[in-house]
């Protein structure tokens, strides 16, 4: 049975790297018809951030990463909040002490600091491992503060990682790490092993920064007589400055990205591409599609970098796939801010902007010329490809005004037929007539729809008024 877990610490809001970890855990579980667990690792009270746990729940919900077991849902192996599991850790540590795989350490901070400073030792010197059983008993009975340390055996440790392969490390490089702190609480390094075993986690997925700690975890599983889970370490994720993505480096959190207008499904889609290569060149997926095509063997070792422009592109592609009525609802507040004129057809405005925005709110500036013609330079009438310039524009606009003024049917087909007629009769190309119209009506180099569609949007009076203004400019 495949069981994965996402184990965030509520020390800040989730960023794209955290979301990627959660997503890959989710996908590995779904792929194997397994169970996806959420575990809140809240034992570091000093770094606890108010509201962060709720934000994690919200982000999971919004992105569709539904967990099968976790806080608020339950399951057979809970509680799933570490602070509620406090009592579970010490007995395991004491068992390790009894079997000689761990020991009590009474060294105070001063001694430990001295160790590192004077003798240049970074590692604990095992002073307390030499204490006699009587001495230990005496100190414990006197209530002396203690920690419990893992006794790293001699030799080498090899573990297998699904992404990074076999990794061997000389045990001399490892310190006798603390398992239980002097306040009786477990360190993260101990708690993750106890919890992953207690929750029957089969695949442990996490960032590659944990690769160096994994030999210690493997030794702990072995010392406790437990099966070692499958390890899947995800490649390093860097920000634009080349640093590791982290809350501490000020990288955008998921709530911030949502605030900036990125859609949850785009963020998920983008996160999937960070260190995982889809089987073909396709890059746009729904979560359901990812569930069926995701293969952990396609996770790469090489670091990947968060690229906001790529995210924008993915967002734009995801917007294109939205049902028009959904985009309309999202775009409406922005369109209303931008176009206030009576009778504006917001459904049409939504339709013409949907495929042209990378974030929904950008639809506003695409249509802002409708209410008010911006001031523009007559050089805008010059377009090499269309073979037009202010002089040709003057000729075209004059003809267009004359013909349009008499038009009874004010719709795109009639308008376009008129433009074609004018072009043919005057040995002009369609573009040499359409470009000047578009420029005169919008004052912008790019518009979300063509010249005759803009005529329809503006209505006859406003169109003729703007064409006259344009003509006056180029005459
Ligand atoms: N609580 C750890 C973190 O947020 C989890 C690491 C792990 O997945 O074991 O980094």
Q: Which stretches within 89-156 are classed as H helix? A: 89-98, 109-118, 133-141
Distance 362 CA to ligand 1 centre (A): 37
Q: Tell me, yes or no, if the pTM score tops 0.85.
A: yes
**Exposed, middle or buried, 311 (CB in 10 Å: 0-12/13-18/19+)?**
buried
Atom of ligand 1 nearest to the CA of 192: 9
Q: What is the pLDDT of residue 118?
A: 62
Helices (runs of H) and strands (runs of E) counted in the chain: 19, 11
Q: What is the pLDDT of residue 120?
A: 66
Q: Looking only at Cα atoms, what is the longest distance across the chain?
A: 111
CA angle 245, 249, 251 (to 5 degrees): 60
Ligand 1 interacting residues, C-beta cut-off 6 A? 7-9, 41, 192, 206
Residue 383, strand partner residues: 388
CA of 99 to the centre of ligand 1 (A): 28
Q: CA 89 to CA 178: how far, in whole Å? A: 13
408: burial class by Cβ within 10 Å (0-12, 13-18, 19+)? exposed
Tokens at 350, concatenated: 């939504």
Cα-to-centroid distance, 167 and ligand 1 (Å):
20
Give residue 314's pLDDT.
Answer: 98
Kindly give the confidence (pLDDT) of every residue in the chain, 475 residues in length, as a single tens digit, with 9 standing for 90 and above.
999 999 999 998 999 999 999 999 999 999 999 999 999 998 887 888 899 999 999 999 999 999 999 999 999 999 999 989 999 999 999 999 999 999 999 999 989 888 876 666 678 999 999 999 999 999 999 999 999 999 999 999 999 999 999 999 999 999 999 999 999 999 999 999 999 999 999 999 999 999 999 999 999 999 999 999 999 999 999 998 899 998 788 888 999 999 999 999 999 999 999 999 998 889 999 999 999 999 999 999 999 999 999 999 999 999 999 999 999 999 999 999 999 998 899 999 999 999 999 999 999 999 999 999 999 999 999 999 999 999 999 999 999 999 999 999 999 999 999 999 999 999 999 999 999 999 999 999 999 999 999 999 999 999 999 999 999 999 9
Active site residue 247: yes
The single residue of 247, 301, 341, 384 carrying the catalytic annotation is 247
3-state DSSP assignment of residue 54: helix
Query: What is the rounded distance in angstroms from the CA atom of residue 273 to the CA atom of residue 45?
Result: 34
Partnered with residue 69 across adjacent β-strands are 37
- For residue 8, which atom of ligand 1 is closest to its CA? 4
> Cis (ω within 30 of 0) for the bond into 79?
yes
Q: Which residues pair with residue 206 across a beta bridge? A: 233
How far apart (Å, rounded) are the C-alpha atoms in residues 353 and 39? Answer: 42
| Distance separating alpha carbons of residues 452 and 435, to the nearest angstrom | 10
Atom of ligand 1 nearest to the CA of 5: 8
Please give the pLDDT value at position 279: 85
CB atoms within 10 A of CB 323: 8
What pLDDT, on a 0 to 100 scale, did the predictor assign at position 61? 97
- Neighbouring CB atoms inside 10 A of 404's CB total 20
User: What is the per-residue pLDDT for 117?
Assistant: 61
Give dist(CA 437, CA 429) in Å, integer. Answer: 13
End-to-end Cα, the chain, rounded Å: 78
C-alpha dist (Å) from residue 182 to 94, 177, 341, 399, 446:
14, 13, 69, 89, 66
């Amino acid at each position: 049975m495949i069981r994965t877990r996402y184990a965030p610490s509520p020390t800040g809001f989730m960023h794209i790297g955290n979301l990627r970890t959660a997503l890959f855990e989710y996908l590995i579980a779904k792929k194997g018809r397994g169970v996806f667990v959420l575990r809140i690792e809240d034992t570091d009270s000093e770094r606890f951030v108010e509201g962060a746990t709720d934000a994690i729940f919200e982000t999971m919900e919004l992105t569709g990463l539904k967990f099968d077991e976790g806080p608020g849902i339950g399951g057979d192996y809970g509680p799933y909040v570490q602070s509620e599991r406090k009592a579970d850790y010490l007995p395991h540590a004491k068992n390790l002490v009894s079997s000689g795989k761990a020991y009590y350490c009474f060294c105070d901070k001063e001694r430990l600091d001295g160790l590192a400073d004077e003798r240049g030792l970074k590692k604990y010197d095992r002073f307390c491992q030499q204490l006699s059983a009587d001495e230990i008993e005496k100190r414990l009975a006197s209530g002396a503060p203690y920690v419990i340390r893992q006794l790293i055996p001699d030799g080498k440790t090899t573990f297998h990682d699904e992404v990074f392969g076999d990794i061997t490390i000389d045990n001399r490089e490892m310190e006798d790490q603390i398992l239980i702190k002097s306040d009786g609480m477990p360190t993260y390094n101990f708690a993750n092993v106890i919890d992953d075993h207690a929750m029957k986690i089969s695949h442990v997925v996490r960032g590659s920064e944990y690769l160096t700690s994994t030999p210690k975890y493997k030794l702990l599983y072995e010392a406790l007589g437990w099966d070692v889970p499958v390890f899947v370490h995800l490649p390093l994720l860097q920000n634009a400055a080349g640093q590791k993505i982290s809350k501490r480096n000020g990288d955008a959190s998921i709530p911030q990205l949502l605030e900036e207008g990125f859609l949850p499904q785009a963020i998920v889609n983008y996160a999937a591409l960070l260190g995982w290569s889809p089987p073909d060149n396709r890059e746009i997926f729904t979560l359901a599609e990812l569930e069926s095509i995701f293969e952990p063997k396609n996770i790469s070792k090489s670091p990947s970098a968060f690229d906001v422009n790529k995210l924008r592109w993915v967002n734009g592609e995801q917007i294109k796939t939205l049902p028009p009525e959904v985009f309309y609802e999202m775009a409406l507040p922005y369109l209303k801010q931008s176009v206030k004129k009576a009778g504006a057809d917001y459904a049409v405005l939504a339709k013409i902007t949907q495929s042209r925005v990378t974030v929904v709110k950008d639809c506003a500036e695409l249509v802002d010329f409708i209410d008010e013609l911006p001031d523009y330079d007559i050089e805008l009438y010059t377009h090499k490809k269309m073979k037009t310039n202010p002089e040709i524009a003057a000729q075209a606009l004059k003809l267009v005004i004359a013909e349009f003024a008499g038009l009874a049917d004010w719709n795109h087909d009639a308008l376009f037929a008129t433009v074609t007629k004018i072009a043919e009769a005057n040995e002009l190309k369609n573009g040499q007539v359409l470009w000047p119209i578009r420029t005169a009506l919008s004052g912008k180099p790019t518009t979300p729809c063509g010249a005759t569609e803009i005529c329809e949007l503006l209505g006859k009076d406003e169109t003729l008024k703007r064409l006259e203004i344009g003509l006056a400019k180029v005459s």
